Amino acid sequence: MEPQAKQPTRALDDAAPTDGQLVIRTNEGDRKAFDQLIERYQRQAVAVSYRLLGNSQDALEVTQDAFLKAFTSLGTLQKPEAFGGWLMRIVSNLSLNFRRGRKNKQQLPLDDLLGTNEPSTSNGSGSDWMAQSGNPLRRLESEEMGRKLQEALSQLPEKQRLAIVMFTIEEMPQKQVAETLECSVEAVKWHVFQGRKKLKEMLKEHL
Amino acid sequence: MSPEQLEFILTQYLDGTLPAADAVALERVLETDPTAQALRDEHERLTALLRSQPLPEMDWDDLARDFCAVVTGNVDEQSRAEDQKLNVMLAAATPLPELQWDELSRRISAAVDAEIETGDVEDERLVELLRSAPIPVVNWDRLAGHLSETIAAETQAREVVDERPAVIGRIGWVRTASRMAMAACVVLAAGLGIRFYLVKPAPSGVNPPTGTGGMSPVVMVETPRVEAASRPAVAEISIGPSKEYVASSDKEMYRRGVASRSPVVIASPVASDEEGDRPSGLGFE
């Protein structure tokens, strides 16, 4: 057994202000304090959004919107110490909304309208799950596996999907996941367990 | 322990959230139970698979600067200088990629037309569907009778509602006050009647005396008088359309028929008694 403890962006030393202190300072008008919160949570926010959307550009857009929303409504946060879970809830809600909107959107194929040799940035699947590998065969395999993982995750109920992404993949603390999902720690364990069982069934040929 | 319970504990063990005492007990089971071992290996492979897809490479410091600039508006000097350089470069760059605007316009128009056409076809189908639905067999006479009865009942109900006394009449003190007012009116009228009955009227044209020598005041009333007619009364009655209508109408019937006749009838009293001065009916010319 290996206890997992992936820190947000960078490890917090003892002298670093807590989330609660930074939130209070921001509410008092210190914008630099919120910059520290951005640095602290940006990796976690991008990662969660990326796991839910499967596209880095969309994930960055959603993360930026989430930070903006958090900044403008920081005064409504009841427990300043729970900033992390609150932010992740905003990130996950915006990501899921973005995903639904993307599903409903019908776009005209415009890539071929570019006049000269403008490169197309879309790979057609709306996903850039890929390993940063120079080996084309390995890259294809990784892309294929990424698509399958994304498909399997998307078939899970929302809470199970979020629990798996945040707890199992991103190794966020269970308490923070519970705050994000607005449920108990025991419920998080249950969502993770149920999600794992379903994923095991869906991905059994790869296990 | 059921397989489901074992798996639940096992996942907590792998996640590192199982209490230490339970973890020790589970490790003992794992040493001897091949089913538990297989389950553990399977979940370990699943975890490894889920974590196998890395995040894209990103410059987190650079990203944090961007987020801060957008969210809080805080921009460091280095980023400000870089932005200024970028602005200079962008000003010199080609503003837009070459797009085939006509083709884009044509495609958008075609997409809109297709959408409208699809909508029209669907509308037509709906209309056809609605028209093709058979009308249920209805006993029209019975329906008419039923409607008449309903309307009659409704009218009757409204009349009953209209006949109800006003709400104010149902208030107790208002009703009592109105009765007392009515009684007072009756008493007053009776008193006035008795007074006028007992008082004798003075002769016409005589001014009332100013003194109080036992004379009652007299009221003089002048009534209209009958005037004697100098000649018999004649009434002129117009029959048929007005002259303006006749002039504007293009209906031949009015021109040749009604309109061509004299529209005037004169009616005068006819003297039928012996003296000839009392009319007994109307004569027409």
Looking at per-residue pLDDT, the higher value among B13 and B198 belongs to: B13
Q: Which residues contact A107 (CB under 8 A, 6 or more apart)?
A: none
Q: What is the pLDDT of residue B263?
A: 53
CB contact under 8 A, B50 and A145: no
In the predicted model, is pLDDT for residue A117 greater than 50?
Answer: no
DSSP string, A95-135: HHHHHHHHHH------GGGB-SSPPP---SSS-------S-
d(CA B90, CA B97): 13
Q: Could you give the 3-state DSSP secondary structure of residue A156?
A: coil
Using alpha carbons, list the distances in angstroms from residue B41 to A87, A152, A156, A198, B3: 34, 20, 22, 16, 15
pLDDT, tens digit, 9 for 90 and up, residues B96-147: 667 788 888 888 888 988 888 888 888 888 888 888 877 777 788 888 888 8
The secondary element (H helix, E strand) that includes residue B264 is: strand B264-271
With cut-offs at 50, 70 and 90, classify the pLDDT of residue A49: very high
d(CA B272, CA A184): 117
Using alpha carbons, list the distances in angstroms from residue A156 to A52, A55, A196, B236: 11, 19, 10, 99
Q: What is the pLDDT of residue A2?
A: 39
A3, burial (CB in 10 Å: exposed 0-12, middle 13-18, buried 19+): exposed
High-pLDDT (> 90) share of chain B, %: 18
Taking CB atoms within 8 Å and a gap of at least 24, the contacts of A58-62 are: A58/A98, A58/A102, A59/A95, A60/B63, A61/A98, A62/A91, A62/A94, A62/A95, A62/A98
The closest alpha carbon to A124, from A141, A110, A139, A138, belongs to A110
Longest dimension (CA), chain B: 150
pLDDT, tens digit, 9 for 90 and up, residues B1-11: 788 889 999 99
Q: Is B45 on the interface with A (CB under 8 A)?
A: yes
For residues B212-237, give the mean pLDDT: 64
Q: Which two tokens stand for residue B57?
A: 């490479």
DSSP string, A164-193: IIIIIIS---HHHHHHHHTS-HHHHHHHHH
CB contact under 8 A, B72 and A31: yes
High-pLDDT (> 70) share of chain A, %: 75
Q: What is the pLDDT of residue B284?
A: 52
Q: Which residues contact A96 (CB under 8 A, 6 or more apart)?
A: A52, A158
Domain ranges in chain B are 3-50, 60-92, 99-130, 168-199, 235-284
pLDDT, tens digit, 9 for 90 and up, residues B19-65: 999 999 999 999 999 999 999 999 999 999 998 888 888 899 989 98
Chain A residues with beta carbon closer than 8 angstroms to that of B16: 1-4
Looking at per-residue pLDDT, the higher value among A199 and B284 belongs to: A199
CB contact under 8 A, A200 and B42: yes
CB A179 within 8 A of CB A84: yes
Q: What is the pLDDT of residue A114?
A: 44
Looking at per-residue pLDDT, the higher value among B233 and A194 belongs to: A194
Q: What is the pLDDT of residue B173?
A: 77
Q: What is the pLDDT of residue A129?
A: 47
d(CA B50, CA B52): 6
CB contact under 8 A, A32 and B72: yes
d(CA A161, CA A155): 8
With cut-offs at 50, 70 and 90, classify the pLDDT of residue B90: confident
CB B44 within 8 A of CB A22: no
Q: Which two tokens stand for residue A94?
A: 């915006």
In the predicted model, is pLDDT for residue B178 greater than 90?
Answer: no
Amino acid at A161: R
Which region among A120-124, A138-142, B121-125, B225-229 has the lowest average model confidence (pLDDT)? A120-124
Q: ipTM for the complex?
A: 0.74
Q: Which candidate from A64, A115, A128 shows the least CB-CB separation from B70? A: A64
Q: What is the pLDDT of residue B239?
A: 65
- Cβ count near A99 (within 10 Å): 18
Beta bridge partners of B269: B282
Closest approach of chain B CAs to the CA of A88, in angstroms? 16
In the predicted model, is pLDDT for residue B246 greater than 70?
Answer: no
The closest alpha carbon to A51, from A11, A96, A9, A12, belongs to A96
Q: What is the pLDDT of residue B255?
A: 58
Q: What is the pLDDT of residue A116?
A: 42
CB A70 within 8 A of CB A87: yes
Q: What is the pLDDT of residue A13?
A: 57
Testing the interface with A: which of B41, B46, B59 to mutate, by most A Cβ within 10 A? B46
For residues B225-240, give the mean pLDDT: 66
Q: What is the CA radius of gyration of chain B?
A: 55
Q: Could you give the 3-state DSSP secondary structure of residue B14?
A: helix
d(CA B285, CA B281): 14
- Give me the domains of chain A, ranges plus CATH numbers: 16-104 (1.10.1740.10), 135-207 (1.10.10.10)
Closest approach of chain A CAs to the CA of B80, in angstroms? 16
Q: What is the pLDDT of residue A52?
A: 92
For residues A64-89, give the mean pLDDT: 95
Chain B residues with beta carbon closer than 8 angstroms to that of A178: none
Q: What is the pLDDT of residue B179?
A: 87
CB B70 within 8 A of CB A69: no
Q: Which candidate from A4, A67, A192 shows the least CB-CB separation from B71? A: A67
CB contact under 8 A, A32 and B74: yes
Q: Which two tokens stand for residue B73?
A: 């508006």
pLDDT, tens digit, 9 for 90 and up, residues A153-197: 999 999 999 999 999 999 999 999 999 999 999 999 999 999 999
Total residues found in chain B within this entry:
285
User: What is the rounded average pLDDT for all residues in chain B?
Assistant: 77
CB A160 within 8 A of CB A189: no
With cut-offs at 50, 70 and 90, classify the pLDDT of residue A125: very low
In the predicted model, is pLDDT for residue A5 greater than 50?
Answer: no
Q: Which residues contact B267 (CB under 8 A, 6 or more apart)?
A: B234, B235, B236, B237, B282, B283, B284, B285
With cut-offs at 50, 70 and 90, classify the pLDDT of residue A88: very high
Q: Which candidate from A34, A164, A200 shows the least CB-CB separation from B71? A: A34
For residues A66-91, give the mean pLDDT: 95
- Cβ count near B285 (within 10 Å): 8
- CA terminus-to-terminus distance, chain A: 19
Q: Which two tokens stand for residue B51?
A: 């974590």
Phi-psi category of B194—alpha, beta or left, where left has phi over 0 and alpha has psi -120 to 50?
A: alpha
Closest approach of chain B CAs to the CA of A134, in angstroms? 14
d(CA B259, CA B245): 10
